[in-house]
Each structure stands twice: as C-alpha cells, then as structure tokens.
C-alpha cells in the first residue's frame, strides 16, 4: 500500500538553440509539463509530457490547467495501482494525452523506485546501447547537406530529414544530403509531417528511389488512411505513420487497413508507457515495426523512452535527439546522449531523471497536497 501525498505540477519553459522548422510549424521554444508525485515514504516519481498544439491538440496553458485537475483527482490514491489511477484519469477527463503521459511516466518511475530497480528491469528489458538518428530541420538543400555531413563525420548512423515544402525542393534536399554524406551505410529517413497529397507523395517517392531511403514518415494528412494504404501499395519506399496514430485503437485500424510498414510511437501521443506498450503489441502482432520518437522531450521524457525501448525488441528505430534543441539541459541524471546519437542507460532506480534544483526553483509551478 502506498499513498499520494503531494503532486508538483510544473510548466517548464525551454528556449531552443536555434529555430527548428518542420512542415507543420517553426519552433523556437517549448513548454513542457512536468509532474512529480510524492508518496508517503518521500519517494518522488517524475514524468514529462510535451503538449503539441498541432499534434496532440494541447496548448501549454490548457495542459497546465488539466494537470492540476488530474492532481486533485489523484491525491490520496495508491500510486502503485497504475491501471486504476490511469483508468480513473481517463474517465475523469478524456484526451490530454501529453498531460496523462507526464503522470504515466511518474507512476512508472515511482513504482521502479519502490522496487529499487531501473525502469527497464521492471519492464523485463535488457540493457542496450542505442543509436538514435539525428534530425535535420527544413532549410535550404545546401544547409541541410552541410548539417548532414557534420553529423555523419561525427559518427551518426541515421539521419531523419524533415521535408514537405514542395516537390522540387524536397527532392533537391534529399539529393544534396545523400551526395554530401557519401556513406552508403548511413540510413536516411524522411518525415513530411502530412505535407503532401497522394499524387505528390507518390511522385516524390518514385523520384527518390535511387537515394536509398529507409522509410518515409507521415507523407499524407493524418486523417487520410485510405490514401496511405493506396500509397503504400504503390510506393517503392516504406511508409510510417506518425500523426495518424495515437493509441492502440489507431494502430489496430492502420494494421487492419494494411496502410503502413512502420508506426512512430511517441509517449505524448500514447499518454505514456502503458499506452505505448499496447501500440507496440498491436503493431508487433501485425508485423509492423515501431520507432520511438518524441515531440521535443528533455532528457526526462527521453530517459523514460529509452527504458521502454530496452523492453520492446519490436521498437527498432530511435529518434531521441530532441534534448539537443535546447540551450540548456534542465534535467539531472537520466540517460546519457552524445552528439553522435549514442544513448547509454544508467542503473539508477526508475528512469533516473529529475529536474535540476535550480530549474525546479525558477519554473512556474503549483504544489497540490492534502
Ligand atoms: Mg513525425
């Protein structure tokens, strides 16, 4: 038996080093929800969720309010009963997946701390060193190619290339990058963030077949599942869904339609680890491989994701480089991530990450206790 004595709800404002452009928007800062769940023993479970207006439909302001409503619901409950707690949250207020993600990660962190185990051990996983891709935002072909060259020189093994501003420009970007890196073993993944229509996508993917593209992520608008199925049947390049799939129900529909080769799991869409395990299970049953990606998580959310990956062999592609967006690292502990994309776990109980004390001190927060 355990009891939730206090919940800290924090709005973490993180400036970017430089603006990051994708087909949906340009980002120059991020505001994340951090929750810290305190139990009666003084243990604290920590979780992060990234509200993304264009994907999850949550704004930082609405997410901060929603997180406080959930906190009031959860005070006094047993945080080890994760299914019950998350189920009650869903019945109390639907949607808000990024906010529920912050709670979910905090519950699993707390459970692993109670068990004095790293989270990946609790989940039945095996420790592995991972190689994350590095993501290149939309820019001119020349600038993107130069960024790609530097990454590959540093040892990066996979690049995720943002596209989606138009057929000719997008093709030139990929041509310039493949020529600049001059390393056939390096994987190139595209992400169009819903920017193309069906014919444009087919045209572009046919034109890119000689550049050895591993997969193209979310070529069509999120709602166009029929189009995705037709595109997959005719495309010479594998297709991944991102914005089209949040939860296990979406994964089931995509699998039943035969619409995708890959699914991008993001904890902010699945509302955390519990939902991610279900999406992965449905995908695995349908022969669909998964990527673990993110919105713009700090090392707190990324650390939780890495522990999950180590317990899910079907998650085979890793897009974990979002902490490099930020001018400062607000997190203490957690996984280590080097600029060449190598990610290493440590053996701290839980996922191992928390806010640094000075970030906890200066961030906007509400403390809810009995
Ligand atoms: Mg994506």
Catalytic residue among 113, 162, 269, 289: 162
pLDDT of residue 210: 96
Contacts of 346 (CB under 8 A, 6+ apart): 118, 333, 334, 335, 336, 352
Cα separation of the two ends of the chain: 18
Catalytic residue among 39, 242, 243, 321: 242
CA of 245 to the centre of ligand 1 (A): 11
CB burial string 210-243: b at 16+ within 10 A, e below: eeebbbbbbbbbbebbebbeebbeebebbbbbbb
Q: What are 273's two structure tokens? A: 């680890």
What are the domain boundaries of the chain?
4-116+357-369, 121-353
CA nearest neighbour of 12 among 26, 36, 32, 28: 32
Q: Is 266 a catalytic residue?
A: yes
Q: Rounded to an integer, what distance in angstroms lies between the CA atom of residue 104 and that of residue 101?
A: 5
pLDDT of residue 183: 87
Residue 333: CA count within 13 A, CB half-sphere: 15
How far lies 9's CA from each of 65, 82, 102, 138, 359, in Å? 9, 19, 10, 34, 13
pLDDT of residue 106: 99
Q: Is 191 a catalytic residue?
A: yes
Give the β-pairing of 262-266 and 239-241.
parallel
Task: Note down pLDDT in tens along the chain; length 370 residues.
Answer: 899 999 999 999 999 999 999 988 999 999 999 999 999 999 999 999 999 999 999 999 999 999 999 999 999 999 999 999 999 999 999 999 999 999 999 999 999 999 999 999 999 999 999 999 999 999 999 999 999 999 999 999 999 999 999 999 999 999 999 999 988 899 999 999 999 999 999 999 999 999 999 999 999 999 999 999 999 999 999 999 999 999 999 999 999 999 999 999 999 999 999 999 999 999 999 999 999 999 999 999 999 999 999 999 999 999 999 999 999 999 999 999 999 999 999 999 999 999 999 999 999 999 999 8
Query: Cβ of 18: how many Cβ atoms within 10 Å?
Result: 9
CATH number of 121-353: 3.20.20.120
Count of helices and strands (H, E) across the chain: 13, 17
* pTM (global) more than 0.95: yes
State the residue for tokens 């037709």: 230
CA of 368 to the centre of ligand 1 (A): 35
Tell me the pLDDT tens digit for each residue of 278-291: 999 999 999 999 99
Catalytic residue among 191, 214, 250, 354: 191
CA of 217 to the centre of ligand 1 (A): 6
Q: 4-116+357-369 falls under which CATH superfamily? A: Enolase-like, N-terminal domain (3.30.390.10)
User: Which element (helix H / strand E) includes 122?
Assistant: helix 119-122
Q: At what angle do helices 97-114 and 273-285 cross, to 10 degrees?
A: 100
CA of 346 to the centre of ligand 1 (A): 28
CA of 290 to the centre of ligand 1 (A): 12
CA of 274 to the centre of ligand 1 (A): 21
pLDDT of residue 193: 98
DSSP string covering 247-316: SHHHHHHHHHHT--SEEEEEHHHHTSHHHHHHHHHHHHHTT-EEEEE-SS--HHHHHHHHHHHTT-TTEE
Q: Rounded to an integer, what distance in angstroms lies between the CA atom of residue 123 and that of residue 143?
A: 41
State the residue for tokens 């609405």: 62
SS3 assignment, position 91: helix
CA of 182 to the centre of ligand 1 (A): 25
Q: Is 109 a catalytic residue?
A: no
pLDDT of residue 184: 85
Same fold yes or no, 4-116+357-369 and 121-353: no
Catalytic residue among 266, 269, 297, 354: 266
Q: Rounded to an integer, what distance in angstroms lies between the CA atom of residue 119 and that of residue 64?
A: 26
């Amino acid at each position: 038996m355990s009891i939730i004595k206090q919940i800290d709800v924090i709005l973490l404002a993180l400036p970017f080093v430089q603006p990051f452009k994708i087909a949906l928007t340009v980002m120059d800062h991020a505001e994340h929800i951090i929750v810290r769940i305190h139990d009666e023993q003084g243990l604290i479970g920590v979780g992060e969720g990234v509200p993304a207006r264009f994907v999850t439909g949550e704004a930082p302001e609405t997410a901060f309010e929603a997180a406080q409503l959930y906190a009031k619901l959860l005070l006094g409950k047993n945080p080890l009963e994760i299914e019950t707690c998350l189920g009650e949250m869903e019945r109390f207020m639907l949607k808000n997946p990024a906010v529920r993600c912050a709670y979910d990660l905090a519950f699993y962190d707390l459970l692993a701390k109670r068990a004095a185990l790293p989270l990946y051990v609790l989940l039945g996983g095996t420790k592995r060193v991972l190689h994350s891709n590095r993501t290149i935002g939309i820019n001119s072909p020349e600038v993107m190619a130069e960024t790609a060259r530097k990454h590959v020189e540093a040892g990066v093994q996979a690049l995720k290339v943002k596209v989606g501003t138009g057929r000719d420009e997008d093709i030139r970007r990929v041509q310039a990058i493949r020529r600049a890196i001059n390393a056939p073993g390096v994987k190139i993944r595209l992400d169009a963030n819903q920017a193309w229509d069906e014919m444009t996508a087919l045209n572009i993917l046919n034109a890119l077949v000689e550049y050895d593209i591993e997969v193209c992520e979310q070529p069509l608008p999120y709602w166009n599942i029929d189009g995705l199925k037709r595109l997959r049947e005719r495309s010479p390049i594998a297709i991944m869904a991102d914005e089209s799939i949040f939860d296990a129900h979406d994964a089931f529909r995509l699998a039943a339609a035969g619409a995708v080769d890959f699914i991008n799991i993001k904890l902010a869409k699945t509302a955390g680890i519990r939902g991610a395990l279900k999406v992965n299970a449905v995908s695995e049953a349908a022969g669909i491989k998964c990527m673990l990606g993110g919105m713009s998580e700090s090392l707190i959310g990324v650390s939780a994701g890495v522990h999950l990956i180590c317990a899910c062999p079907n998650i085979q592609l890793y897009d974990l480089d979002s902490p490099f967006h930020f001018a400062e690292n607000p997190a203490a502990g957690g996984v280590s991530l080097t600029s060449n994309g190598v990610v290493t776990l440590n053996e701290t109980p839980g996922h191992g990450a928390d806010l640094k004390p000075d970030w906890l001190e200066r961030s906007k927060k509400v403390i809810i206790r009995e």
